[in-house]
Amino acid sequence: MDSFIEETIIACLQGKSTREQEDNLRAWIDESEENRAAYERFCAEYYRLNYAGAWREINERQARRRIFTGKARPSRQPWYLSSAAAAVLLTVGIGWLAWPNGARELPALSTELVQGGARKATLILNDGTAVTLSPGSVVDVGYARAEDDSSSGLTYRSLEASSPARVEYNTLVVPRGGIYLMTFSDGTRAWLNAETSVRYPVVFEGRTREIFMDGEIFLEVAKDSERPFIVHTATTTTRVTGTSFNVMAYPGERVTEITLASGKVTVNAGDATLALLPGEQARVDNASLETTKHAVNRAYYTSWRAGLFDFDGMNLEELCTRLGRWYNVDFVFVSPPARSRTFTGAVKRDNNLQFMLDFIEKTSNVRFEIKGATIEVHDL
């Protein structure tokens, strides 16, 4: 794609194009499938970089008329509104072919009322007692006390100066549709994503600090060069002394991913050992234990804890799995080809379910149908 075409596309996306530029762009797109594919990729990346911060303010019909009929006057909105509007309509799959009569509305159901994950968790004590946590909860756990603070989450504090006679373990469980922050007794902070559990000693004793998890956790490990912090999943062991990283290890999924944000970690899986630097990710096949290392954009794998979905070419099957956990809903793929449709974009996780379904439909060439408590995914 030459610079002239790039400048023309950007002008259209920003609402600053002339009638001649719009005509030239339409003609160029129609010349070949290669041009059309290049155009889609450019729009998708442009949209991802500018996010979709003003989604609710987009005038969709005006944007469609402007780009594809040339009948609308140049937009007077700020450039970032125009770029979001145009890119939403023109990205993967080229939306105007899919939506000739305007945006389809889903059947009226509770999707607008279904909100994203909220702060909730259950604490299971060493004796099996289950405690539903809420801000202000105080739980005595033998030789320590666990306090739930609205800002810092569950925090452990030792009540004894000497080492306990025995090690007691607690388990923190975050359900589907939940998220939670906790602080271990050594000061290490852990963000638990939806459908995640972690088992850990009430107070770390001995030469190591070890926890056992499944699901997804982002950790900021308190530095202690004398006692490494070790995270166990079903197939991996990750060892650090002080760093921040993300571990995604959901039961039943094909891979476990360890993504390093800062510091240095060592990952063991089967006979393999990998050392990671910031911006690198270890991927472990949970069946074969084949282990690979990749350079990645760490934001794609850690932004969830800051309240953002950030996707870059993610297939719809994986995306719907994540949304299912976050909104506590089930997706069913009626059209198998829809599984491989890709999605690129970023959006806040605090939007309701209806918003997310509309968002995906307009950018991924699929449609959703609500059937009771299930969301069906159809290819277009």
Q: Assign 127 to helix, strand or coil.
A: coil
Query: Are 118-302 and 307-379 equal in CATH topology?
Result: no
Inform me whether the pLDDT recorded for 162 exceeds 80: no
**DSSP label at 335?**
S
Spatial CB neighbours of 82, under 8 Å, sequence gap ≥ 6: 13, 14, 15, 16, 63, 75
Inform me whether the pLDDT recorded for 288 exceeds 90: yes
Torsion of CA 35, 40, 45, 46, to 10 degrees: 90
Counting residues of the chain whose pLDDT is more than 90, the rounded percentage is 51
Q: Are 174 and 193 in contact (CB under 8 A)?
A: yes
Give the separation between CA 259 and CA 311, rounded to whole angstroms.
15
Q: Are 148 and 171 in contact (CB under 8 A)?
A: no
Question: What pLDDT is stored for residue 102 in this prediction?
Answer: 38
Question: What pLDDT is stored for residue 39 in this prediction?
Answer: 78
Specify the pairing of strand 178-183 against strand 118-119: parallel
Least confident of 30-39, 77-86, 101-110, 338-347: 77-86
Question: What pLDDT is stored for residue 55 in this prediction?
Answer: 38
Question: What pLDDT is stored for residue 9 in this prediction?
Answer: 81
Residue 161 pLDDT level (bands cut at 50, 70, 90): low
**pTM > 0.75:** no
Spatial CB neighbours of 271, under 8 Å, sequence gap ≥ 6: 289
Inform me whether the pLDDT recorded for 45 exceeds 60: no
Inform me whether the pLDDT recorded for 68 exceeds 60: no
Mean pLDDT value across residues 261-287: 96
CA 67 to the chain's CA centroid: 31
Specify the pairing of strand 237-240 against strand 229-232: antiparallel
**DSSP label at 91?**
S
Q: Are 112 and 352 in contact (CB under 8 A)?
A: yes
| CATH no. of 307-379 | 3.55.50.30
Architecture per CATH, 118-302: Sandwich (2.60)
Span 203-219, pLDDT tens digits: 998 899 999 999 999 99
| Domain ranges within the chain, ordered by starting residue | 3-98, 118-302, 307-379
Residue 92 tokens read as: 């993967």
Question: What pLDDT is stored for residue 105 in this prediction?
Answer: 39
Q: Are 214 and 172 in contact (CB under 8 A)?
A: no
Span 122-158, pLDDT tens digits: 999 999 999 999 999 999 887 788 999 877 789 998 8
| Greater model confidence, 359 or 163 | 359
HSE-CB of 237 using CA atoms within 13 angstroms? 12
Specify the pairing of strand 196-201 against strand 130-132: unpaired
Specify the pairing of strand 330-333 against strand 374-379: parallel
The residue among 280, 278, 309, 274 whose CA lies nearest residue 296 is 280
